[in-house]
A and B are shown apart, each in its own frame.
Chain A
Amino acid sequence: MPVREGNYGLLAEFDTPSQLVQAAEGAYKAGYRRMDCYTPYPVEEAAAAIGFHKNTVSLVCLIGGLLGLAAMFGLETWISLWAFPLNIAGRPYFSWVAFAVPAYEWTILYAGLSAAFGMLALNGLPQLYHPLFNAPNFRSGATTDKFFLCMESTDPKFDLTETRGFLDRYTPVSVVEVEY
């Protein structure tokens, strides 16, 4: 069900990743910013071409890992010193060497979960509906063998005819309008 009326953007389809990268670089140079490339496998050059160089997944992962470490080590210390102190063969209550093992496991657990769910959250997934799925050629190509550049209509420089003319210079297979 359409949530908004109008145009989401213009979607240009390319046969090769090189053409896509060239068009994306050209669009960035021409001053377009609100655009995205869609590829069936990671094309790092295309991300760089549209000015996406850094992402924060590793930061999220680091924070998660430290949190896991602190959580488990803190839990072990609290249990062994205050909640339920047990004398096990005369070993110290604060046996940090032994505590290191579960703390290590939870560091990895939290870091891994943060990396995975952080990646999904930053990507805005799960998002089952997206206007691009309305484009007739998107689903048959974007996850198989075609390379797409979508110029979004929210870009201040976006103009239906002008942007279409711009995209046509890069000899795409097709340029289609994407409805909301």
Chain B
Amino acid sequence: MATKDVPVNDPMLDPVTGEFAVIAPGHTFKSVTEEISRIVLTPRTPLGWFFGFTLAGGFVLMLLVALVWLFVKGPGIWAVTIPVAWGFAIVNFVWWIGIGHAGTLISAILLLFKQGWRNSINRFAEAMTIFAVVCAGLFPLIHVGRPWLAYWLLPYPNSMNVWPQFRSPLMWDCFAVSTYATISVVFWYIGMLPDLGTLRDRSQSRLGQYFYGMLSMGWRGSVRHWARYESASILLAGLATPLVLSVHTVISFDFAVALLPGWHDTIFPPFFVAGAIYSGFAMVITLAIPIRKFYHLEDLVTLRHIDNMGKVMLATGLIVAYGYVSEVFMSYLYSASHWEYFMMWNRMFGPMGWSYWVLITCNIALPQLLWLRKLRRNVAFMFIISLVVNTGMWFERFVIVVTSLTRDYLPSSWGTYRATKWDYATFAGTLGLFTFLFFLFIRFLPMIPMSEIRLMLPQAKIHKEAQPVPEAGD
């Protein structure tokens, strides 16, 4: 799809600023409600949905097979061994949880900054967070070797009289990720409450009315309820913001607290958080572009959204680039440590050096094209660049985890790593699980927050002087 020259009187363009409109003009409360709720309430599911759902379901089956085989045989079916004991499982864990972070960023941080344009995309960005956390949370659980004992991570009185050790970052991780998952689900559900009420009231089928009636908890839109609801939303946003920053910080501690060259880095916390937001925005774009096309939501998820997300990606991408430069500076020029120097040389030119250059190409070189406004507004280009960035961020975690582990201090303990078919099957399976859950979400839940879109329409403004004031009192 080529970028077209937009005519001067394009209704999507603001005549003053030349900016793209967040919502196409001419919409009413009713029309936005209908446009969004018809996707869920239609009795006719589009054929394409079934196709995608079945395809994703096939990958979920593959994941189940891979997991069953893992439980039967143990983690030996993966390529994890000494020295590379973390392998794909932790690469995927960090990658998935990073993807989740953009959802929280869009729903919480942009809410606090009063960025109204986020409203169209925040619901499915939050859904993306939850499904990404589901995929992420799976990996540490299955990586522990005996997953049926994973509950030993939790502090609970037990007959062994053993308690967890709270000085370990892995323990912090357990609390950070479980809190993140819980708060994300609560934030998502609470945000959806008014829209579930709308679906209950608009549903034509008895089953739909019961289903959405139960889920909406009897929401009736009282302004007293709205006031408390708004307070709770702002509070949850204010809580989710430090939470999301802390989660990836804690995950980076898993690495940074270790002494391994390539992991023992003070820049890791901010570097990880920026990378998480970078890959997360890429994933939002990957999801938003096909969805708006398939469900004809171009009026609500406009080029303005794509453009803004492109800008956020560019900015966070540059922070990530700063992280790479800092790593090179620290190890080559500043550390005066032989091991640090060797780590960086090995990362670039060692046997796995190709992965470093893939990451530099995908994360730094190609995204510089986002400086061009023309390209940021080209939907096809944005879709491709989002896939490129997602690939790049996956390789970043691969480089950090695998390349660092293969070469530690003692050459006698050096090793290599070659992922097995079960590694790939598990990873592809979680991609399928993520897509599978997403298909369910867009079919059964409102993917764009109707109440927030209504609030953005010009009709929502209160005009006090417009009407004649009737006489007061009798």
Partners in one complex: yes
Interface residue ranges, A against B (CB under 8 Å):
16-19, 21-22, 26, 29-30, 36-47, 50, 52, 55, 57-58, 61, 65, 72, 75-76, 79-80, 83-84, 86, 88, 91, 95, 98-99, 101-102, 104-106, 108-109, 111-113, 115-116, 118-120, 122-123, 125-130, 132-133, 138-140, 142-145, 162, 166, 169-170
Contact of A145 among B30, B464, B474 (CB under 8 A): B30
| B9 touches A (CB below 8 Å) | no
B223 and A119 contacting across the interface, CB-CB below 8 Å: no
Q: Which of A106, A115, A126 is close to B232, meaning CB atoms less than 8 Å apart?
A: A115
**What are 15 A-B interface contacts by the 8 Å CB criterion?**
A16-B459, A42-B229, A42-B455, A79-B164, A91-B167, A99-B166, A104-B246, A105-B172, A108-B179, A115-B235, A119-B228, A126-B218, A142-B221, A143-B220, A169-B470
Q: Is the CB of B29 within 8 A of A144?
A: yes
A119 touches B229 (CB 8 A): yes
Tell me, in angstroms, the Cα distance from A109 to B185 when the chains sit together. 12
Can you list, as one digit per residue, whether each of B364-403 has a CB less than 8 Å from chain A (1) or not (0)?
0000000000000000000000000000000000000000
A22 CB to closest chain B CB (Å) equals 6
**Is B230 close to A, CB under 8 A?**
yes
- A57, A99, A112: which contacts B186 (Cβ < 8 A)? A112
Nearest to A53 among chain B residues (CB) is B227
Which residue on B lies nearest to A122, using beta carbons? B228
Is the pair B227, A55 in contact by a Cβ cutoff of 8 Å? yes
Tell me whether B219 is interfacial, beta carbon within 8 Å: yes
Query: Which among B171, B228, B250, B462 has the greatest number of chain A C-beta atoms within 10 A?
Result: B228
Interface of B is mostly: helix
Closest B residue to A145 by beta carbon equals: B29
Chain A residues with CB under 8 Å of B243's CB are 105, 108, 112
Given contacts A38-B221, A143-B198, contact A58 B235 (CB under 8 A): yes
Q: Complex formed: what's the CA distance from A101 to B228 in Å?
A: 30
B163-182 contacts to A (CB < 8 Å): 163-168, 171-172, 175-176, 179, 182
Enumerate the 9 nearest inter-chain pairs by beta-carbon distance, A residue then B residue, closest first. A145-B29, A126-B217, A119-B232, A84-B163, A42-B226, A57-B231, A143-B198, A47-B223, A169-B470
A118: chain B residues at CB < 8 Å are 232
Most chain-B Cβ atoms within 10 A of its Cβ — which of A38, A116, A127?
A: A116
Q: Would A84 and B162 count as touching, CB distance under 8 A?
A: yes
Q: Are A18 and B464 in contact (CB under 8 A)?
A: yes
| B410 proximal to A (CB < 8 A) | no
A residues in contact with B336, CB < 8 Å: none
Query: Considering only CB atoms, which chain B residue lies closest to A19 in the complex?
Result: B467
| Set B175, B201, B219, B236: member contacting A115, Cβ < 8 A | B236
Whether the Cβ atoms of A80 and B166 lie closer than 8 Å is yes
B290 within 8 A of A: no
- Cβ-based interface call for B463 (8 A): yes
Total contacting residues, chain B, CB less than 8 A = 74
Known: A30-B472, A39-B221. 17 other contacts (CB 8 A): A17-B460, A26-B470, A30-B473, A36-B222, A42-B223, A42-B451, A47-B226, A61-B235, A83-B163, A101-B172, A102-B172, A106-B175, A111-B239, A112-B243, A115-B235, A128-B213, A169-B471
B278 at interface, CB cutoff 8 A: no
- A130:B218 contact, CB within 8 angstroms: yes
> Given the complex, which residues of A lie within 8 Å of B109, measured CB to CB?
none
Interchain CB contact under 8 A, B460 and A41: yes
User: Which secondary structure characterizes the binding site on chain A?
Assistant: helix
Tell me the bound Cα distance from A44 to B225 in angstroms. 11
Query: Chain B: which residue is nearest A23 at the CB level?
Result: B470
B33 contacts partner chain A, Cβ-Cβ < 8 Å = yes
Residue B469 at the chain A interface, CB threshold 8 Å: yes
Residue of A57, A98, A112 near B228 (CB, 8 A) is A57
- B194 contacts the other chain (Cβ, under 8 Å)? yes
Question: Which of B28, B176, B194, B463 meets A105, CB within 8 Å?
Answer: B176
A21, A41, A57, A95 pick with most chain B CB within 10 angstroms: A41
Q: Decide yes or no: A119 and B155 within 8 Å by CB, A22-B469, A104-B246, A109-B182 being known contacts.
A: no
B443 within 8 A of A: no
The smallest C-beta distance from A131 to any residue of chain B, in angstroms, reads 10
